[in-house]
Amino acid sequence: MKRALPWILLFVFALVALSGLRPAKPIEGFNVAEFGRLPALLNGRVQPLDSVGRNALLSMSGKSAVRTEDKQTLSSSEWLLEAMTRPEAADTRKIFRVQHPDLEGMFGTQKIGLEHHSFNDLTNHLGTIEEQARNIRRAEFEKKSDPQTRTPFQKDLMHLYNSVVRYHQIKNTLGPEGSRDFAREVDVFQQTIEPAVTALRQMNVGEEYDQSDIKLLAAFHKRYTNVSMYAYAMIVPPQTSEPRDGWKNIGASLMETILTHEVHPAVTNITAIYSAYAQNEPEQFNQALANYKVWLQSNNLLSEMKKGRQEFLFNRVEFFYKSIIIYVAALLLAGVYWINRSEALRKSGYLLLILAFVIQTIGLAFRMYLEDRPPVTNLYSSAIFVGWGSVFLGIILERIFRDGIGTFAAANVGFITLIIAHHLSLSGDTMEMLRAVLDTNFWLATHVVVITIGYSAMFLAGLLAIVYIFRGFFTKALAAETGKSLSRMVYGIICFAALFSFVGTILGGIWADQSWGRFWGWDPKENGALLIVIWCAIILHARWGKLVNDRQLMALAVFGNVITSFSWFGVNMLGIGLHSYGFMDAAFFWLSLFISSQMLIIAVALLPAKMWKSFGNGGQTSQPSAPPDKPTEASAV
């Protein structure tokens, strides 16, 4: 049993991970997944409707699915379809996150951030929300206040306001909100155009004309102008004669119909889909979807359809979410191993770590393929990649040292960085298009990747140092040999970090030199990278010169966490320079908390050896340790 345990666990978790590959079943006869795969254009890129719904839902509610009152779960595709076609049902879904107590107070409710509100809950307060938001905007426009220094209340209010606006936009994406039979409506609209235009001509030349057609057309005109202003995604693809990125929203397309008298064939299909779902007709819905797909195929939109299918699969499998679960399992196994020292547990943890790593790797590679980009393109993907790099190094350490430490540390970083990534994804589309200056795969693949690997190594070294400090200070379990091997691990990884940070920083300078003509400009992000390089240099020189003992080395490595987190996130919060991506105050709180915790650990590490449980009883003294391959001579040079 003990031998088989690791493999059994591996099998079980692999099954969990692969569960997303099951084909999606129709929901109440509706082929919702097929709808979610349809391509649309949003944020300047073609994406499946599922991503449109998912990213909107994430930013509004913080979740990628919706729990209904009767404890059912709506997938992002299903929720989007409902919001676009059945507003009465959608208005009852609790998707609006409100966190600030004052905001709850304003509504006279007392849920305080634990529950979400539905649109119906908010209808009586829409005026207040809008007025408050307008006040904030006006003050900022008049430079009385600054968007970067909004109070938590103002931020939460603006978030709610933006969510309500977005919800309204989504409702008008497939057609005007609440159109019972949009297909028929568009038919009537098209039949009105000819007579109305004739009547207008008659009016102009002073002949007798029928006013009712003109009035009807004017009403349609107004209705579709509204849709064209509010529609969220562009869902009408270009025809073969139009440029490839010439997508339009449905309102704009219908406005064109007034001039051409022709309804865009895609619009005909989309209206059929709308009507069928609004009227709860599964067969017609599936048929309309099938017809639309045939039209897309015959209009040379195969690559857009492929993009839709693939990204839908990527969303559905949720690689990074699955990795989080497995990292936690590996973390627990490695933790228990230290207590009972069962090799089966250590191996189980190790195998699960590898499994999670493989899944994360596939997710990362899939993302790269979808985006056609190197792994790191924004803060979100940097978090995923930092974790990936640390886990890779941790696996190597575990393979060499086989003591559970590598697994524990790697699973920890993997888990935390993916959680960070999840929170970063709440701000919107994580595969957004890159602005012109960043649009270069060469430099993204070299500078950004190399520097991010440097971050990974710094964090892993810092975490190993924490393991050393905790085990040494609080337990008697840190034997001399383990201590030495940990010290060697930390040293080796810092060497690695120094190499990558330095080369990455210089490559960044060279990129700057190539694209705006100056190698170094003391920009905050550059300075952040430089801080890491200097810190590595300090640690390495201090060790080569034997200026620090093992415990002090560990304290230095933990401070590396502080420097790296400042460089990674802190400088973005300064809001200056070419690199800054905007202020994030929740992140500021967590960063402060993280830095405080690290400082506390450093303080512990610097307590005298006799207070350490592992070294206390006349055990190991604070003799400086020589690096493994360095004899006694100080080697500065």
Footprint of other proteins on 481-510 (CB under 8 A): 481-482, 488, 492, 495-496, 498-499, 502-503, 506-507, 509-510
Least distance in angstroms from the C-beta of 421 to other proteins: 22
Least distance in angstroms from the C-beta of 525 to other proteins: 9
E strands, 204-335, in order = none
Across the strands, what pairs with 116?
97
Residue 234's CB is within 10 A of a number of other CB atoms, namely: 21
Least distance in angstroms from the C-beta of 552 to other proteins: 12
Nearer to other proteins by Cβ, of 153 and 520: the residue is: 520
Asked if 599 touches other proteins (CB under 8 A), the answer is no
Asked if 393 touches other proteins (CB under 8 A), the answer is no
Asked if 537 touches other proteins (CB under 8 A), the answer is yes
Asked if 541 touches other proteins (CB under 8 A), the answer is yes
Asked if 582 touches other proteins (CB under 8 A), the answer is no
3-state helix, strand, coil in the chain (%, to 5): 70, 5, 25
Residues 350 and 358: their CA atoms lie apart, in Å, by 12
Least distance in angstroms from the C-beta of 617 to other proteins: 7
Angle, alpha carbons 215-217-219 (nearest 5°): 70
Among 516, 593, 596, 610, binds other proteins (CB under 8 A): 516
State phi, psi for 30 to the nearest 5 degrees: -85, 130
- Quick one: which segment of 13-21, 94-102, 378-386, 535-543 binds other proteins (CB under 8 A)? 535-543
Number of residues that bind other proteins (CB under 8 A): 86
**Which residues, 199 to 238, sit near other proteins by CB under 8 A?**
234
* Residue whose C-alpha is closest to residue 77's, from 367, 319, 277, 266: 277
Asked if 439 touches other proteins (CB under 8 A), the answer is yes
Inter-residue contact 356 to 40 (CB < 8 Å): no
Residues 616 and 473: their CA atoms lie apart, in Å, by 9
Q: Record the tokens describing residue 199, joined without a space.
A: 């009547």
Least distance in angstroms from the C-beta of 17 to other proteins: 30
**Which residues, 235 to 264, sit near other proteins by CB under 8 A?**
245-247
Q: Is 86 left (phi over 0), alpha (psi -120 to 50) or beta?
A: beta
State phi, psi for 620 to the nearest 5 degrees: -70, 135
- Quick one: which segment of 71-79, 286-294, 315-323, 573-581 binds other proteins (CB under 8 A)? 573-581
Asked if 42 touches other proteins (CB under 8 A), the answer is yes
Least distance in angstroms from the C-beta of 6 to other proteins: 16
Asked if 544 touches other proteins (CB under 8 A), the answer is yes
- Quick one: which segment of 69-77, 328-336, 360-368, 544-552 binds other proteins (CB under 8 A)? 544-552
Among 15, 21, 259, 436, binds other proteins (CB under 8 A): 436
Nearer to other proteins by Cβ, of 105 and 545: the residue is: 545
At 292 the three-state DSSP class reads helix
Asked if 545 touches other proteins (CB under 8 A), the answer is yes
Inter-residue contact 317 to 20 (CB < 8 Å): yes
Within 299-342, residue ranges assigned H as helices are: 302-317, 319-340
**Which residues, 610 to 629, sit near other proteins by CB under 8 A?**
617-621, 623-624, 627-629
Nearer to other proteins by Cβ, of 387 and 570: the residue is: 570
Residues 300 and 291: their CA atoms lie apart, in Å, by 15
Asked if 546 touches other proteins (CB under 8 A), the answer is yes
Asked if 576 touches other proteins (CB under 8 A), the answer is yes
Asked if 474 touches other proteins (CB under 8 A), the answer is no
Asked if 574 touches other proteins (CB under 8 A), the answer is yes
Among 5, 45, 150, 361, binds other proteins (CB under 8 A): 45
**Residue written as token pair 């001039």:** 259
Residues 401 and 407: their CA atoms lie apart, in Å, by 10
Inter-residue contact 237 to 301 (CB < 8 Å): yes
Among 2, 7, 11, 44, binds other proteins (CB under 8 A): 44
- Quick one: which segment of 128-136, 294-302, 453-461, 476-484 binds other proteins (CB under 8 A)? 476-484
Asked if 151 touches other proteins (CB under 8 A), the answer is no
Nearer to other proteins by Cβ, of 103 and 591: the residue is: 591
Among 538, 584, 587, 595, binds other proteins (CB under 8 A): 538
Inter-residue contact 92 to 64 (CB < 8 Å): no
Asked if 513 touches other proteins (CB under 8 A), the answer is yes
DSSP sequence for 435-499: PGGG--HHHIIIIIHHHHHHHHHHHHHHHHHHHHHHHHHH-S---HHHHHHHHHHHHHHHHHHHH
Among 92, 475, 514, 596, binds other proteins (CB under 8 A): 514
**Which residues, 394 to 433, sit near other proteins by CB under 8 A?**
400, 402-403, 432-433
Question: Could you say which DSSP state residue 607 is in?
Answer: S
Q: Determine the length of the chain.
A: 637
What is the per-residue binding string for other proteins in 352-391, x denoting contact by CB under 8 A?
----------------------------------------
Asked if 344 touches other proteins (CB under 8 A), the answer is no
Residue 243's CB is within 10 A of a number of other CB atoms, namely: 7
DSSP H or E segment with residue 96: strand 94-97
CA of 461: how far to CAs of 464, 476, 479, 487, 582, in Å?
Answer: 5, 22, 19, 10, 29
Q: Record the tokens describing residue 429, joined without a space.
A: 């589309």
